[in-house]
């Protein structure tokens, strides 16, 4: 997952804490092994190298694909797990790189969930297309890990994988978990806000760190799958609170994909959110 | 201490001409913060007529992290971010610090010239240089024996011309940390004067007292320290400004020393009272006992107790809203500080040579007392609310560690010395 | 404490150190005093190091030699 993963358990019993952390870790590793696109031994690899042939998937993968399909529909195509190939057309190293329209067009030809056939536990992707569950994989792992901890102990807990987190509380004494919102301009420094979370999930999506310069204009790294170009006018950081981490993460990503319309989108959705422009 | 070398001349053993070499190594470590390794050397040439020339060299290699003065957001257990960082707090990292590395080199030279049998004069000069600071100075000190050589009066003065050139430029005081910094140098002038009296009370007992005053003018702010601005609703620090101190400082101190030879052991007792026009006042009590172990070795346990009242512009943090005060610093060294030190030295003569080794290990604990200062004027009008805020911040700090000692630091030092005449 | 009171206190301390010593110290009494350890600073290298450490870590200064070196620490 390439990010630090923290598990906090509100207990005095070291054995319980250790068991909870280990359960969370094992589950996180399991999810990563199963859904990472960097491995060559899992279902995602099989799907991405099927060369147009149908691939049968298990219940868990089917659940994720159903979720992705729903998100694609309700977001009018902005949320698309086949959009990963667009990364080949851009370099987000903070320097000036003129975009290559041919490369973008070539990549766009391989993007579009509507081109895939998904029914009855079978997914057929046209040759050359890929799915990338990176956008929801981490949040899904957080939810799964939190569920596993709940099986181990009833103590209040919080699982934070790389900034996306799910909490089960409140802590002893009725106190909520205090979660800071990172300052996107100065990661690692004093957080900008303090949120109180007793139960639920927080996910943050942001555009501040990786970017490219085009004619002096700074463009973030989140790409709109319908155009192949980076989203413009998005807030530097969007934090969403929801019941589950995958929900919070999807909403945060969808908000960013709306660019300048992020705030309005989140208000329409009726979820608690915090933006940093 | 100041009175080194002001012992009544007649009480000193006659000194033969020759050389003296001293080599010292210091290892210094603060819990989770700075580390210093400092080798030092001194070569002294003593002449038959009482003249002496001494040259010293010291090199400090400092690495580590020092607190910035910003308030910890200790109540945040974890962070949500898009960058992939989780920043879960642990109690060891509660205080924001910034890492640094520096190398400081210092050289000094002094010349002692006897003037007749009762009078002597010492001239000294020194230069030190580190990445962001240079100091050049000199001094003159003169001692005269009075009352049948039982009393020695010492008068001295010194002048330092320092230059401060902070890395990255000099910040504008009490401005946002991210504002551009001004390149260039800032001068700092320091003039010091002292007068001391040393007295041989009887064959066992030496007493001394010294009073000194120094006046500083120039750039006296710490360019790397900040003061947090706190949101009064959440009590969470969410911005910071650079600190700012006045451009002049007048310091005074009185030091009393006693050396008393008991049956076998020697008791050293020092008390110093210090005060300055920034509001800092302190008491220092230092106690050492030298005990010989046979003819060739000795031990010297040591205890030092220190307490300080804060500068009038010391704050733990400032609130958003009221206008910024004229001066503010959250540097704990200007706060209500206590330090307790204990340790000891073990010394022994190398058999067959005239050299002596000393090995000293010390442990220091330093902390700020829990009650924020009653300093006025930080919010000019919002005094009442500001007082509640400081109490609340202290209460939050208490809550985090439970005993109000959030700012306590442990420091350990090891000092190895070797000196040999030849 | 006001400045005037401090000055009086300093003067008092000064005088207090002279008064006890009205006894005469004869040359043959100087045996103990001749020891190298009967000095205000028997270990000058320790003194120099301590001066620097406490100057850097605390708000006070001195008892230092007038010609003491400077650093950016206090």
Q: Does B84 touch chain A (CB under 8 A)?
A: yes
Chain C residue numbers with beta carbons less than 8 Å from the beta carbon of B162 are 70
Residue holding tokens 């020695």? B152
Domains of chain B: 9-421 (2.40.160.40)
ipTM value: 0.82
Is B76 in Cβ contact with A179 (below 8 Å)?
yes
Cα–Cα distance measured from residue A31 to residue B5, given in angstroms and rounded to the nearest whole number = 74
**Is there contact between C and A if contact means ≥3 C-beta pairs under 8 Å?**
no
| Tally of domains in chain A | 1
Against chain B, the chains showing at least 3 CB pairs within 8 Å are: A, C
Angle between helix A59-74 and helix A14-35 axes, rounded to 10 deg: 70
Q: Does C40 touch chain B (CB under 8 A)?
A: yes
Interval B216-223 mean pLDDT: 92
Contacts of B1 (CB under 8 A, 6+ apart): B210, B255, B257, B270, C40, C41, C47, C51, C63
Interval B324-344 mean pLDDT: 91
The torsion angles phi and psi of B183, rounded to 5 degrees, stand at -75, 160
Q: Closest Cα of chain A to B391: distance in Å?
A: 20
| Tally of domains in chain C | 1
Ranges under pLDDT 70 in chain A? 1, 187-190
pLDDT of residue B10: 36
- Of the partner residues C23, C39, C43, the one whose CB lies closest to the CB of residue B7: C39
pLDDT of residue C15: 61
User: A50-59, A100-109, B196-205, B385-394: lowest mean pLDDT where?
Assistant: B385-394
Interval B200-207 mean pLDDT: 88
Q: For C12-71, write each residue's pLDDT tens digit.
A: 666 665 555 445 556 555 677 777 888 888 888 888 888 888 888 888 887 544 344 555
Tokens of A233: 């006018």
Do the beta carbons of residue A229 and residue A261 sit within 8 Å? no
Q: Closest Cα of chain B to A206: distance in Å?
A: 5
Cα–Cα distance measured from residue B138 to residue B140, given in angstroms and rounded to the nearest whole number = 7
C26 within a domain of the structure (yes/no): no
Full domain range(s) for residue A260: 5-276
Chain B residue numbers with beta carbons less than 8 Å from the beta carbon of C43 are 300, 345, 358, 417
CATH number for the domain that contains residue A171: 3.10.520.10
- Of the partner residues A5, A187, A194, the one whose CB lies closest to the CB of residue B75: A194
Full domain range(s) for residue C44: 33-65
Query: What distances in angstroms separate CA B256 from CA A136, B269, B313, C61, one per listed residue?
Result: 71, 8, 29, 15
Query: Chain C residue with minimal CA distance to B205?
Result: C33
pLDDT of residue C11: 64
Is B85 in Cβ contact with A179 (below 8 Å)?
no
Point out which residues pair with B273 in neighbouring strands: B254, B283
Is B76 in Cβ contact with A180 (below 8 Å)?
yes
User: A127-141, B173-187, B328-342, B378-392: lowest mean pLDDT where?
Assistant: B378-392
Q: For B13-70, write each residue's pLDDT tens digit.
A: 455 788 999 999 999 988 767 888 999 999 999 998 889 999 999 998 887 767 777 6
């Amino acid at each position: 997952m390439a990010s630090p993963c923290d598990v906090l358990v509100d207990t005095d019993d070291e054995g319980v804490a250790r068991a909870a952390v280990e359960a969370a870790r094992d589950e996180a590793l399991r999810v990563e092994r199963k859904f990472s696109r960097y491995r060559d031994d899992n279902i995602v690899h099989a799907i991405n190298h099927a060369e147009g042939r149908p691939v049968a998937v298990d219940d868990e993968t089917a659940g994720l694909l159903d979720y992705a399909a729903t998100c694609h529909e309700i977001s009018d195509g902005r949320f698309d797990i086949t959009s990963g190939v667009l990364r080949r057309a851009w370099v987000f190293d903070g320097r000036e790189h003129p975009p290559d329209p041919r490369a973008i067009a070539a990549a766009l030809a391989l993007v579009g969930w509507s081109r895939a056939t998904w029914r009855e536990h079978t997914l057929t992707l046209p040759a050359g297309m890929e799915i990338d569950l990176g956008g929801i994989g981490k949040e899904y792992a957080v939810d799964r890990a939190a569920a596993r901890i709940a099986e181990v102990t009833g103590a209040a807990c919080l699982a934070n994988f790389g900034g996306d987190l799910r909490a089960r509380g409140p802590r002893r004494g009725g106190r909520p978990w205090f979660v800071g919102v990172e300052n996107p301009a100065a990661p690692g420094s004093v957080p900008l806000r303090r949120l109180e979370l007793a139960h639920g999930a927080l996910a943050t999506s942001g555009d501040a760190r990786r970017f490219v310069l085009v004619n002096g204009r700074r463009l973030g790294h989140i790409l709109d799958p319908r155009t192949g170009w980076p989203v413009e006018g998005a807030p530097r950081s969007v934090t969403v609170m929801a019941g589950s981490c995958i929900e919070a993460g999807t909403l945060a990503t969808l908000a960013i994909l709306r660019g300048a319309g992020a705030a309005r989108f989140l208000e329409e959705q009726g979820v608690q959110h915090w933006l940093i422009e | 201490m100041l009175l080194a070398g002001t012992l009544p001349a007649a009480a000193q053993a006659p000194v033969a001409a020759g050389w003296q070499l001293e080599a010292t190594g210091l290892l210094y470590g603060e819990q989770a913060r700075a580390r210093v390794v400092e080798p030092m050397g001194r070569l002294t040439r003593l002449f038959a007529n009482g003249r002496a020339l001494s040259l010293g060299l010291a090199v400090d290699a400092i690495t580590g992290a020092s607190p910035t003065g910003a308030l910890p957001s200790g109540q945040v257990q974890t962070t949500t971010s898009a960058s992939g960082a989780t920043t879960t707090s642990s109690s060891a990292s509660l205080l924001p610090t910034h890492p640094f590395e520096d190398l400081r080199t210092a050289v000094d030279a002094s010349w002692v010239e006897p003037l007749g049998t009762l009078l002597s004069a010492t001239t000294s000069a020194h230069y030190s240089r580190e990445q962001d600071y240079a100091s050049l100075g000199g001094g003159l000190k003169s001692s005269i024996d009075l009352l049948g050589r039982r009393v020695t009066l010492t008068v001295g003065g010194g002048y330092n011309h320092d230059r401060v050139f902070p890395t990255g430029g000099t910040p504008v005081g009490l401005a946002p940390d991210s504002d551009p910094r001004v390149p260039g140098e800032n001068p700092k002038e320091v003039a010091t004067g002292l007068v001391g009296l040393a007295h041989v009370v009887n064959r066992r007992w030496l007493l001394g007292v010294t009073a000194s005053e120094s006046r500083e003018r120039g750039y006296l702010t710490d360019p790397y320290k900040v003061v947090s601005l706190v949101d009064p609703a959440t009590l969470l620090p969410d911005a910071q400004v650079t600190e700012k101190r006045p451009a002049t400082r007048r310091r005074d101190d009185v030091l009393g020393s006693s050396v008393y030879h008991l049956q076998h052991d020697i008791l050293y007792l020092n008390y110093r009272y210090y005060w300055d026009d920034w509001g800092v006042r302190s008491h220092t009590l230092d106690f050492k006992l030298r005990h010989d172990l046979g003819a060739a070795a000795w031990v010297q346990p040591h205890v030092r107790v220190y307490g300080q009242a804060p500068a009038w512009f010391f704050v733990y943090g400032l609130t958003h809203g009221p206008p910024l005060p004229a001066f503010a610093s959250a540097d704990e060294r200007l706060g209500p500080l206590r330090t307790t030190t204990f340790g000891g030295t073990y010394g022994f003569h190398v058999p067959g040579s005239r050299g002596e080794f000393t090995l000293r290990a010390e442990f220091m604990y330093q902390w700020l007392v829990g009650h924020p200062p009653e300093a006025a004027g930080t919010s000019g009008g919002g005094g009442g609310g500001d007082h509640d805020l400081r109490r609340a911040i202290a209460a939050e700090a208490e809550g985090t560690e439970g005993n109000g000692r959030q700012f306590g630091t442990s420091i350990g030092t090891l000092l190895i010395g070797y000196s040999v005449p030849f | 404490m006001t400045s005037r009171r401090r000055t009086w206190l300093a003067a008092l301390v000064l005088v207090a150190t002279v008064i006890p010593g009205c006894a005469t110290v004869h040359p043959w009494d100087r045996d103990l005093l001749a020891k190298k350890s009967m000095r205000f600073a028997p270990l000058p290298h320790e003194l120099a190091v301590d001066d620097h450490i406490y100057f850097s870590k605390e708000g006070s200064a001195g008892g230092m030699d007038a010609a003491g070196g400077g650093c950016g620490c206090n």
